[in-house]
A = this chain, B = another copy of it.
Amino acid sequence: MKALDISEVAKRSGVPASALRHYEEKGLIESIGRRGLRRIFEPVVLDQLALVALGRAAGFSLDEIARMFGVDGRPKIDRAMLAAKAADLDATIRKLEAMRDGLRHAAACPAPSHMECPKFRRYLRVAAAGAHGGRKRDRLAAPFSSGTGNSLSHDRSPRRPPVDRRR
């Protein structure tokens, strides 16, 4: 039969069982019953998990993901909102591109201090551009350690910076 036991789902998806329980509690996935105490899931949960992972990778919170898509992958809220999210992502992408170019340049440029390099400053300006107009510090990706062995990034939790309200 098609029913998957939680450990099966964990194994196939790479998502720890504890996280699966957490997702279920949050309403992101649902189990179709129990075998004894054990949760059992339909195989489609694997697709749902992929969608969740994708949303998380794009920086959405679990709550946002739950609001964007039902467990069936059907958009729950209006399409305009999805389009807006897409637009947000687009702005995000442009900032990341500037950051990437800045880093790339920093790795190659011989200038002693990048702050004095006009090219670098230009990237900086581009990247900062978004943060300025809209006035909102958003947070983005923690790209993971590349294979360089330089892994400084031990990633963990995202965070939304609280809106700053200083008088």
Question: B83 and A164: CB pair below 8 A?
Answer: no
Given contacts A72-B113, A99-B58, A115-B47, contact A92 B143 (CB under 8 A): yes
Residue in chain B with minimal CB distance to A100? B89
CA distance A141 to B77 in the complex (A): 21
Q: How many copies does the complex hold?
A: 2
CB proximity to B under 8 Å, residues A92-138: 92-93, 95-104, 106-108, 112-115, 120, 124, 127-128, 130-131, 134-138
Q: Of the candidates B91, B104, B158, B160, which one forms a contact with A86 in the assembled complex, judged by CB atoms under 8 Å apart?
A: B104
Q: Of the candidates B54, B81, B127, which one forms a contact with A124 in the assembled complex, judged by CB atoms under 8 Å apart?
A: B54
- Comparing A23-31, A32-40, A146-154, the segment that makes contact with chain B is A146-154
Residue in chain B with minimal CB distance to A53? B131
A contacts, CB < 8 Å to B: 10, 14-17, 19, 44, 47-48, 50-51, 53-61, 63-64, 67, 69, 72-75, 77-93, 95-104, 106-108, 112-115, 120, 124, 127-128, 130-131, 134-148, 150, 152-153, 155-160, 162-166
Q: Which 9 A-B pairs have the closest CB atoms?
A: A59-B141, A140-B141, A88-B143, A73-B115, A82-B107, A86-B103, A58-B99, A138-B144, A89-B100
Pairs A–B under 8 Å by Cβ, sample size 21: A10-B166, A14-B137, A14-B164, A57-B127, A57-B131, A58-B140, A60-B153, A61-B142, A73-B115, A78-B150, A86-B103, A86-B104, A87-B146, A92-B96, A93-B100, A136-B144, A138-B141, A138-B155, A139-B141, A139-B158, A155-B160
